[in-house]
Amino acid sequence: MIKAIRGTRDILPPASALWNHVESATREVCRGFNYHEIRTPIFEETALFARGVGEDTDIVSKEMYTWEDRDGTSITLRPENTASVIRAYIEHRLDQIPGLKRLYYIGPMFRRERPQKGRYRQFSQIGAECIGSESPLIDAEVIELSLEILSRCGVQNPHLLLNSVGCKECRPKFVQALRERLQDVKGQMCQDCQRRADTNPLRVLDCKVPEDQNIIDSLPSILEYLCEPCAKHFETVKGHLEARGIDYEIRSRLVRGLDYYTRTTFEVTHGALGAQNSILGGGRYDGLAESLGSRVAAPGIGFSIGEDRLVMAIEEHVKGEELARLDVFLIAMGDPALKHAAVLAQELRRGGASVELSADQKVKRAMETANKLGARYALILGDNEIAAGVYALKNMATATQESLTREQLSAALSRRQDVVHHD
């Protein structure tokens, strides 16, 4: 028997209803913030990620799925989507269109890392990017957008971590101080950190090895090295968050795992996810477009949410079984009733109800099927109901029954749909 490849999985009903819930909520929130969907290819030239993400990052050096195409081009399955969005922004000259570019995406990414709880080799991300402004107001808006998506999906008590990683003017001074300090202690750290101490010291701060944390806590803080413009930008971001009533915690070791971040970086954690509790991360990337070949400045800020981990965070109190539950199981008694039942089912579906028309005309067996499917209601339709124009709607949970005209039936199910889907 052929099985799914390690690090991938099938998402089956009713769990898939949770994914639909999350994606629908995301689209609603993004529309409210005037963000519009962008869909990029799932594979790109490898150079895009090597230049955009950073050759010394774990993603590029260890985790990408890369192969040589028949024409000799090196191709990579996208490990993240910000670089792809910026590539599309440059290629299609979106800078020529007035206004900021507010874009969001939902789709699969690929990294060959060790599979663990909530982390897969094919995983899905929800992300948003706002391109064209350096304003700290936009930083706060993007953070608010990310938190609003989590809230609308059903995440309870998310925790926002906030930092600034400076800019090309002040960060080199911090990196040099970090490099010097690491020379004294890198021998006590994990092998990855020993390598990073020489190649990219900032990545040391992103280490998750428990034994290294005390050493990392003793390292210099980026906040002590911020230049005046970066310090002012960070203070303004915090002020805008406070004005919106958004709580945050300053985490000076928060650098994120990608090279393109500048100034504001942020992460959201959630207790339901255990030790690997990050559900969302993002930040500003003011020089990314230029590094990918843009001839005009395109400052931006964005975030990505691990959709797999987001679903894990809400599955205890947002039930896929309820979201996917069948509304009406329609039972037609006799061949003449089948055509009438099919038209009635069509009408109810157009009103928003989920309806299954039974292929079994034996009422007892059909009712047993309705029970097994977990249908909210059963509707039995025969010659008498058709002649009278009155239908018997049975509540499967309470076993109560009410007689309704066609118009009353459509209206009643429509109202109940509103209650079911907005609770």
Task: Tell me the pairing of strands 101-110 and 122-131.
Answer: antiparallel
Among residues 89, 87, 191, which one has the least CA distance to residue 76?
87
Residues 6 or more apart in contact with residue 200 via CB below 8 angstroms = 54, 56, 57, 259
3-state secondary structure of 44: strand
In the numeric block, the tokens 């490099």 are attached to: 179
CATH number of the domain encompassing residue 265 = 3.30.930.10
CA distance 357 to 369: 11
pLDDT tens-digit map of 196-205: 888 888 888 8
**Which residues in the chain land under pLDDT 50?**
418-423
Could you tell me if residue 214 is inside a domain?
no
- Interval 313-339: pLDDT, tens: 898 888 888 888 899 999 988 888 888
The predicted pLDDT at position 139 comes to 98
pLDDT for 56: 62
**CATH number of the domain bearing residue 333:** 3.40.50.800
pLDDT of residue 230: 96
DSSP state for residue 324 in the 8-state scheme: T
Residue 421 has a pLDDT of 41
Neighbours of 379 (CB within 10 A): 27
Sheet containing 328-332, strands listed edge to edge, beginning at the edge strand earlier in sequence: 355-357, 328-332, 377-381, 390-395, 401-405
Per the listing, tokens 């944390």 go with 213
CA distance 181 to 218: 9
CA-based angle 206:211:216, to the nearest 5? 45
Task: Provide the residue range defining the domain that includes 75.
Answer: 15-170+226-314
3-class DSSP assignment, residue 68: strand
Q: Are residues 113 and 250 in the same domain?
A: yes
345 and 231 fall within a common domain: no
Query: Domains in the chain: how many in total?
Result: 2
Does 258 share its domain with 351?
A: no
The counts of H helices and E strands in the chain are 16, 16
Q: What is the pLDDT of residue 255?
A: 79
Shared-domain flag, residues 162 and 247 = yes
* The pLDDT value given to residue 315: 87
In a domain, 55, yes or no: yes
Determine the pLDDT at residue 420: 40
The verdict on 256 and 403 lying in the same domain is no
Q: Give the E-state strand segments of 78-165 in sequence order.
A: 101-110, 122-131, 159-164
